[in-house]
Structure 1
């Protein structure tokens, strides 16, 4: 699933190229998670504004009235922006056709979404965005925020990170990596995290996501940015995907367990309960 780094990498790869473009047409393929919520004809002739990101959502303003398209890549979605793209394939379910090129959403599993909202603070955008927590790069995100948000939770800290309501954007790979950097066992109950450990984890989340952005995100299967470039963070992972290999810090064997139907990789020596 594309996480915050992959979505931000995608945004950066097409945002400047499409800003100011005039919408010529909008094409829909098979239904996505939610209906578009606006007649495509209503958008023709409008100009595209500055593409923004909130968590794993992209906001594409269209026109001067404040409305826009809220986009989510779901489990397997990717966006491509090309001046002269090939004909749509069976998994291409949305195209915004402009005088500068075509923004196309390819989504084999169709868990992604493109929905119209009259404003970011209007429905449905307001409701969807209200469910997500702070980003690791937000100035308000720090150890006390993480500690207070996890207070009283019996769920494992790895699961609490993935829930996205306290901190958003750190998916499975990045949660594993951050917990390793912070020296926290992924099975520790989130509510038992001390303030010092919460501070270390907050810093580790910020560091790992920063590294992922520099590496262009992670490509385990099919993620590519809007120019078709794959990410490489998975090549520098410290624990993720390294079951049975030696920890680069202490030499212990990296282990894998399953939490919430997802693989968790950790070092039993470096990460304490």
Structure 2
């Protein structure tokens, strides 16, 4: 599933090619995604200039004068560019054409868990975005904030930092990696971790996410970036997907468990 670094990589990949361009038409071949694509979307976008492209959590916003197209990649969705005459494949559900008749922005999604939605006014007030916590790479996300939010919580720290109401975009891969880098066992209760250790955890969350974005995200299953190239951060993973293998720091066997129906891998020696 594309996580924050993959979504940010996609945003950066498509931005240079569509910013300030005018939408000519929108082809919707399959409107039944996670939520139905609004029937009026082609009419709303046609003739409009893309003023900016932004991201909030795992949502991409294409901003025009009268509103915002909100895109979520779901479990297996991706945005990429094709030539005008490229025939669609079975899972290619949406094409956005531009007036310059160069590239077409195509959305493919085998599982159809993604979304194309419309918001008028401030897109951050949309019901899917208004409850989200701070962005992990911004200054509003710091150790004082995270430690305060953790007070009295018995919830495991891994689930705590994956809660989008606490902080957005720390998905399973990066939660595993950040906790390893911080030396914190993922099963520890969030409320029992000291402020000093939250200093380290916030530092590691920021570092892991920033490094993944620089390397183009983590290639898992169907993910490719907006330029059609896979991410390379998977080559740098210390724990995720490595259960039963040797820890790259101490050499002991990595433990794999299930937390909240997701895989958690950690080192009993390096993480306490």
Q: Same fold (TM over 0.5)?
A: yes
Deviates more, 1:246-255 or 1:105-114: 246-255
Secondary structure of the equivalent of 1:216? coil
Structure 2 counterparts to residues 189-200 of structure 1, below 5 A? 189-200=189-200
CA distance in 1, matches of 2:41, 2:77: 23
Correspondence for 2:248: 248
2:210 — aligned with what?
Answer: 210
Tell me, yes or no, if the aligned pair for 2:81 and 2:228 is still in contact at 8 Å: no
Query: What residue is the counterpart of 1:35 in the other structure?
Result: 36
Cα distance between partner residues in 1 of 2:35 and 2:53: 21
Structure 1 unmatched ranges of 5 or more = none
Rounded to whole Å, the distance in 1 between the matches of 2:123 and 2:153 is 30
Cα deviations by residue, 1:92-148 (Å, 9 ceiling, x for unpaired): 1222111242111111111100111112347xx522111221122111111111111
Structure 1 residues 221-264: Cα deviation after superposition (integer angstroms, max 9, x where no partner): 11101221000111111111122222122221111111111111
How many positions carry a matched residue from both structures? 268
Judge which range, 143-152 or 28-37, deviates more: 28-37
Q: Does 1:117 align with 2:119?
A: yes
User: Residue 82 of structure 1 contacts residue 227 of structure 1 at CA under 8 Å; is this kept in 2?
Assistant: no
| RMSD over equivalenced CA pairs, Å | 1.5
Shift of the alpha carbon at 1:268? 0.4
SS of the residue 1:24 aligns to? strand
Query: After TM superposition, what 4+ stretches of structure 1 lie above 6 angstroms from structure 2?
Result: none
Asked if 1:51 is matched to 2:53, the reply is yes
- Mapped to 2, the partners of 1:132 and 1:3 lie a distance apart of 15
Matches within 5 A, 1:247-266: 247-266=247-266
Pairwise mapping of residues 69-84 of structure 1 onto structure 2 (< 5 A)? 69-84=69-84
Q: Say which is worse superposed, 253-262 or 127-136, in terms of deviation.
A: 127-136
Distance 1:24 1:32 in 2: 23
Q: Which moved more, 1:166-175 or 1:149-158?
A: 149-158
Q: Which residue of 2 aligns with 1:180?
A: 180
3-state SS of paired residue (1:79): strand
SS at match of 1:225: coil
Residue 111 of structure 2: SS of its match in structure 1? coil
Q: Residues 14 and 248 from structure 1, CA distance in 2 versus in 1: closer, same or farther, beyond 3 angstroms? A: same
Normalising to structure 1: TM-score of the pair? 0.93
With normalisation by structure 2, the TM-score equals 0.94
Deviation readout 1:136-178 (Å, 9 max, x if unpaired):
2111111111111222222111111222111111111100000
Counterpart position of 2:170: 170
Q: Mark the runs of 5 or more structure 2 residues left unpaired by the alignment.
A: none
